[in-house]
Homo-oligomer: A and B are copies of this chain.
Amino acid sequence: MNSTPTFELTKEFHERFSKAIEVKDVEFIRNSLVSVNHADISVLLDEFSPEQYKYVLGLLDTSIGANIIIDLDEDIREKFLDEFESTEIAGYVEQLETDDGADILYGLPVKQREQVISAMLNEDKAKNIVELLHYDEDVAGGLMAKELIKANLNWTIKQCIEEIRKQAEDVENIYSVYVVDNNDKLIGKVSLKNLIIARDKTKVGDIYDSDIHSVETFMPENEIAAMMRKYDLDAIPVVNLKGQLMGRITNDDIIDVITELAEEERQLMAGIATDVEEDDSIWKLSRARLPWLMIGLGGGSIAAYFIGFFEKEIILIPVMSFFIPLIMATGGNVGIQSSSIIVQSLANRNAFEESMKNRLFKSLLVSIVNGVVLSIAGYFIVFSFDSDSTIAMVVAIALFSVVLLASFMGTITPLILNKFDINPAIASGPFITTANDLLGLLVYFGVASILYQFS
């Protein structure tokens, strides 16, 4: 084994490397990065400034550099590419597969995009990238690469192998050779394994596997991810409406999609408005968090306004105010639990969706069980606290109602959002928590004013 797998990024090396950049020690930089994987170099360079980054890249192979640029976060990459001339960017783009090349161009201003494309020497690749730029980034057309191995139905295995030899440099991972008819329509595939097993003179048409999954250019990324996961696919061909082979999506892109979707969900659940990471600027992080905090503030103000109606009652029976946090917290917790079970269910969607009625009914039964347990516990806690059976009864009834209501809201909100193609994970975020808080207060003071009237 050579040095790559054992490359370890120590603090000492990082410091030494940092100094080497400072004094422009070209030899050290080159030698220490020889045969190091681009992903490791990306991590190493993570903390350096765009100028330093660019300086190191200039000392490396263009193809390594191109892969390092692709490893960068999208927003960092955009800033970083400001340092480069269009011709330099073109040089890097030419080293990449078309999908990665298109990703770089997506981030550039339209004028510079044109400049980069016209500066490319490989005209075929330039044409292919321009084609990919027509699609949205989050559908099959925007995810696919044009690089793939295609064989006509009438070819022999030997011809296939010649084709692979010819294109070996362009296509990093092959997986399968896609089989098309004379109209370029996708009709099947031959896996590399079967290609190796077959004899040279065999016809592709005799051994190809017609059992092939494909997606159309407009299919959204989450559906492609679900499909590739369901059928355990390494790559999926993309076809146009006529069934003609347009490109191919590989599983590394899909793993990125799955990870990004999980991150998006996490941020929605946490009420963070835009895509941020810990190493973003303080200003960006603050701005991403403020909108939801302001909504929470708004909700709190409405709650204050609402409690204000009961000012007289609170003066007479101040114990009423003691249990505001208990009711609110329970409503919030139940709401988040219910919504996240639905969100999970929607993420792993099966062919047969339970009807909304059945789901609400089941959620109702679960919340009756939880509500009964909580309200009995709540009754005894409050009674042991104050020996006042009225407030204990108020809390018990309010708890039961809040569990039912919050559970209903938590179940129905993601389902409705999903119907309107909005990410249902929002339903586990602060917006719904705020709504549930208000609902809880409403119920609590409602029950209190009824019971105290009668007592």
Listed in ascending order, the chain A residues whose CB lies under 8 Å from chain B are: 1-2, 4-5, 9, 11, 14, 35, 37, 39, 43-44, 46-47, 161, 164-165, 168, 171, 173-174, 187-188, 191-197, 210-214, 229-232, 234, 251-252, 254-256, 258-259, 262-263, 265-267, 269-272, 276-279, 282-283, 285-286, 289-290, 292-294, 296-297, 299-301, 303-305, 307-308, 311, 314-315, 318-319, 321-330, 332-334, 336-337, 339-345, 348, 350-352, 354, 359, 362, 365-366, 369-370, 373-374, 377-378, 381-382, 385, 403, 428, 430, 433-434, 437, 441
Contacts of A430 in B (CB 8 A): 329, 333, 336
- Return A230 CB to nearest CB of chain B, in Å: 5
A251 to B, closest residue via Cβ = B251
Expressed in whole angstroms, the Cα–Cα distance for A344 and B289 within the complex equals: 15
The answer to whether A296 and B333 have CB atoms under 8 Å apart is yes
> Which residues on B sit within 8 Å (CB–CB) of A318?
311, 314-315, 318, 321
- A377 — nearest CB in chain B belongs to which residue? B297
Chain B residue nearest to A434 in the complex (CB): B329
A282 contacts B321, C-beta separation under 8 Å = no
Which among A270, A359, A428 has the highest number of chain B CB atoms within 10 Å? A270
7 pairs of residues in contact across A and B, judged by CB atoms under 8 Å: A37-B231, A47-B352, A265-B266, A289-B337, A303-B325, A307-B321, A311-B318
B325 touches A300 (CB 8 A): yes
Residues of B within 8 A of A359 (CB): 278
Count identical subunits in the complex.
2
In contact, B174 and A272 (Cβ under 8 angstroms): no
Chain B residues closer than 8 Å to A37, beta-carbon distance: 211, 231
With known contacts A193-B164, A321-B314, A173–B234 Cβ distance under 8 A: yes
Interface pairs A-B: 3 shortest CB-CB: A300-B326, A270-B340, A321-B321
Q: Which of B262, B293, B381, B433 contacts A334 (CB 8 A)?
A: B293
A171–B47 Cα gap in the complex (Å)? 43
Contact residues in B for A39 (Cβ distance below 8 Å): 230-232
Asked if B278 and A370 make an inter-chain contact with CB atoms under 8 angstroms apart, the answer reads no
CA distance A332 to B436 in the complex (A): 14
- What is the CA–CA distance of A214 and B164 in the complex, to the nearest angstrom? 27
A266 CA to B269 CA, complexed, in Å: 9
Judge whether A211 and B251 touch: CB under 8 Å. Answer: no
Seed contacts A293-B337, A296-B329; 5 additional CB < 8 Å A-B pairs: A46-B351, A277-B341, A285-B341, A307-B322, A321-B321
Given contacts A2-B210, A196-B196, contact A369 B329 (CB under 8 A): no
Docked complex Cα distance between A187 and B1 (Å): 6
Contact check, A326 vs B304: say whether CB atoms are below 8 A apart.
yes
Instruction: Name the CB-closest residue of B to A37.
Output: B231
